[in-house]
With several copies, the nearest count.
Chain A
């Protein structure tokens, strides 16, 4: 399946794009998505240990399963306020 991951803040700056399209074999988890993102986009490596993933509007863990319809976003720890 193909997942189009939205990128924000420093994740977007490192990738140089606000989306990253990732190909994954099913079934897939967030952990596998992150590995694949790193492979496709090595500059994200420096942020990888801190990178957060949201599926829909909820924070996901590496074990969270993904399907093709999921809205997926990746970003660094939040710093609003």
Chain B
């Protein structure tokens, strides 16, 4: 299951979706809005996506996880819109028979999501300025 949403991410429901008596291990990753980045204070983040392509890329990653690891269930949700400090921006849940696979598949999904899924975040700094975030934590010069 992959999904974009403008609502709060319900990580409990997401985790329940992947639990199974066939799986002995569940790994859940949550990305949350962090206050401090390189000494600067964020008050909020705005996320936007190219939705059709973002969903297509998330589907590809989902399928690739099943192809590479013995995954029982996997779910990926990315939130869009205006997020406050501490809000969950992305959630990845994976279940596998064994934990090594669950950790590897979960790590793969969030790492690749950040590389290929067309979603962008804009920082809202505490001085009132906004700035598009560059991957690897850098910022695109205004």
Contacts and interface: CB of A to CB of B under 8 A. Distances in A.
Interface string B111-131: 001111111111000000000
Given A8-B48, A13-B132, A80-B54, 13 more contacts: A10-B120, A46-B141, A54-B53, A54-B118, A57-B52, A57-B56, A57-B57, A59-B116, A76-B120, A78-B116, A78-B118, A79-B121, A79-B132
Interface string A16-29: 00000000000000
Contacts, number: 76
Chain B facing A: main interface SS: mixed
Contact of B119 (A47, A50, A73, A78): A78
A74 to B, nearest CB: 10
B23 interface: no
Nearest to A7: B50
A77 interface: yes
A54 B117 CA distance: 11
Contact residues of A: prevailing secondary structure: mixed
Interface in A29-80: 46-47, 50, 54, 57, 59, 71, 73, 75-80
Counting contact residues on chain B (CB < 8 A from A), the size range is: 20 to 34
Contacts of B53: 54, 57, 73
Given A10-B140, A81-B90, A75 B120 contact: yes
B89 A9 contact: no
